[in-house]
């Protein structure tokens, strides 16, 4: 879950997990076949936060880490990348989450999680940094706060191995649908949530709610589709040599939210929205050209260079 404020402060607060990804030292193997692993910082909400900061925006991360070497390392990575970590708490009784992930030769990603439970699952309401939450209150949006709210952006980031069942995942993911202003799903998530193997408009519109300001469906190298109450369409992506798709969706979301903060009128202006999504597509594409999510997140000049050269 990512919370966006559209006021002059221009602050994005990214809420969720940050963890350690262990990736094989060689490509195209299963986890069992991997001869060794390298550790890398991960977690979609953290990736989004760093994506915003790298593009020049203001961002904070809200979540919980283990009070261990990995947790302290991750908090330092947030700070080193310009993200406010005042919303990070530490749990002395639980470890920082670990995930082993690989892209097999057949193109399928394989995950194995160590969260039984991990610190990120144990964050309580009493531990929330309310001062940080109050900073993102504004007159518009669904978010809570005294006399106002914030634009709430939601990315379900489906990982079925983390759920007791597919049915439970679907029910819980959709349970907060009406609370969001902006929702982004991938083509795979669209199929899962609708039960239909299609990305056609009539299928995507099954996920539309009157309370939404923007629904997005990302299509990988094919770009994205967008839906508002007044217009809908698609925006093509950019052709690049892909190395690792990890974090591409997070780069897309970070770029999107950073631009919406600058000008929320893009949610009602199709021309502005299409240009914003072209920028987000460029950022997502660049992220696939290098290994690892955080190291490959682009800066403004890299994104503009790709857009101008297309």
Q: Is 155 among the residues known to form the active site?
A: no
Half-sphere exposure of 294 (CA within 13 A, CB side): 23
Beta carbons of 181 and 213 less than 8 angstroms apart? yes
85, 250, 263, 269: the active-site residue:
250
CB atoms within 10 A of CB 154: 19
Q: Which residues are catalytic?
A: 250
């Amino acid at each position: 879950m990512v919370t966006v404020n559209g006021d002059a402060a221009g602050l994005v607060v990214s809420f969720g997990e940050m963890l350690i990804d262990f990736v094989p030292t060689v490509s195209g193997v299963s986890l069992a076949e991997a001869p060794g692993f390298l550790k890398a910082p991960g977690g979609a909400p953290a990736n989004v936060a760093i994506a915003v900061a790298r593009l020049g925006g203001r961002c904070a991360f809200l979540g919980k880490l283990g009070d261990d070497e990995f947790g302290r390392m991750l908090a330092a990575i947030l700070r080193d990348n310009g993200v406010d970590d005042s919303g990070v708490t530490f749990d002395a009784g639980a470890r920082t989450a670990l995930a082993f992930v690989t892209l097999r030769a057949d193109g399928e990603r394989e995950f194995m999680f160590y969260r039984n439970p991990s610190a990120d699952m144990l964050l309580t309401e009493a531990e929330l940094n309310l001062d940080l939450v109050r900073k993102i209150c504004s007159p518009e949006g669904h978010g809570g706060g005294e006399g106002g709210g914030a634009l709430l952006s939601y990315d379900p980031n489906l990982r079925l191995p983390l759920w007791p069942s597919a049915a439970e995942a679907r029910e819980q993911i959709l349970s907060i649908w009406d609370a969001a202003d902006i929702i982004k799903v991938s083509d795979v998530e669209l199929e899962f949530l609708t039960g239909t193997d299609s990305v056609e408009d009539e299928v995507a519109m099954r996920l539309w709610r009157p309370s939404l300001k923007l629904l997005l469906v990302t299509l990988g190298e094919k770009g994205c589709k967008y839906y508002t109450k007044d217009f809908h369409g698609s925006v093509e992506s950019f052709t690049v040599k892909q190395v690792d798709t990890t974090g591409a969706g997070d780069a897309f979301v970070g770029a999107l939210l950073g631009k919406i903060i600058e000008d929320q009128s893009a949610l009602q202006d199709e021309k502005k929205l299409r240009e914003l999504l072209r920028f987000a597509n460029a950022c997502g594409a660049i992220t696939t050209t290098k290994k690892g999510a955080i190291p490959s997140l682009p800066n403004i000049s890299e994104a503009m260079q790709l857009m101008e050269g297309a």
